[in-house]
Amino acid sequence: MQSHDRSLRSRLLGLLLRPVVRYCLKNSYSIQQFYVSAKELFAKEAALLLEESGRPPNASRISVLTGLTRTDVGRLLSGETSAEEQKPNLVWRILGQWSTDKRFTTRRGDPKTLDAQNDFPRLCESVSKHINPGTFLQELEALGLVDRRGNQLALLKSEQVLHKNPEKSFEILSQDIESLISCISQNALHEELGRNLHLRTEYDNVSLAKLEIVRAWIDAEGKEFHKRARDFISQYDADVTPSLSGNGGCKVVISAFGFIEKPEL
């Protein structure tokens, strides 16, 4: 690798890490804590990448891929790497299925009230045959998304309510960051694979007195856009529309957020 390529890669990595480092500094995480977490993530993510590529992960392969010693790899992977990492994505998919699949919606397109013993397990099976319906029902109830009355389940909100659950919020943040990095990397470095939407709107002198009007508008418009997006894309998803011809397996991600920062007074 030429020196200017190494320099570019180093600058790109620095740009990726900058917001994470700023978060650490603002929240009193030391570089030692960062280093310990980074080592563990390098080992776990390398094992996942090897599995995804069809190669059984072992200490030697992970060591070569990460630069960690085999002793470190063995120690870092000795703990449980639980299936919890997949839960947020599956919860999103169950919510989307319940909101868009005609088997689980009314003629008006609203989510049906489901029977916990029959309908809800069918909903889970339409997303993945490996889902435990009872476990995911507890997950949806814990997030305040399902109203359970006896054996009847009503979907209260089509988006996850995470403001009271920091760990779940950061799990979704992790997925958003991964998707955004993939989006921009493909646009900037692999344009031959197709361009992805990447837009940013920013104003830095908005009236403090009108801030809540802006916040309410962003919230309402964002929810409406995502509803339209789910309605449109779901008709081309093989899980929601089993009659589709051709191979499935392609992932489409749309994420939205609005951030409002008040000046320090």
The tens digit of pLDDT for each residue in 13-69 reads 999 899 999 999 988 889 999 999 999 999 999 999 999 888 988 999 999 999 999
Domain ranges of the chain: 3-81, 84-155
The pLDDT value recorded for residue 265 is 54
CB of 194 closer than 8 Å to CB of 219: no
What gap in Å lies between CA 148 and CA 145, rounded to an integer?
10
Which residue positions in the chain have pLDDT lower than 50?
1, 80-86
CATH of domain 84-155: 1.10.10
Q: Determine phi and psi for 170, rounding to 5 degrees.
A: -75, -25
Q: Determine phi and psi for 49, rounding to 5 degrees.
A: -65, -40
The pLDDT value recorded for residue 81 is 45
What gap in Å lies between CA 42 and CA 38, rounded to an integer?
6
The pLDDT value recorded for residue 89 is 63
Beta-carbon contacts of 116 under 8 Å, excluding residues fewer than 6 positions away, are 137, 148, 151, 152, 153
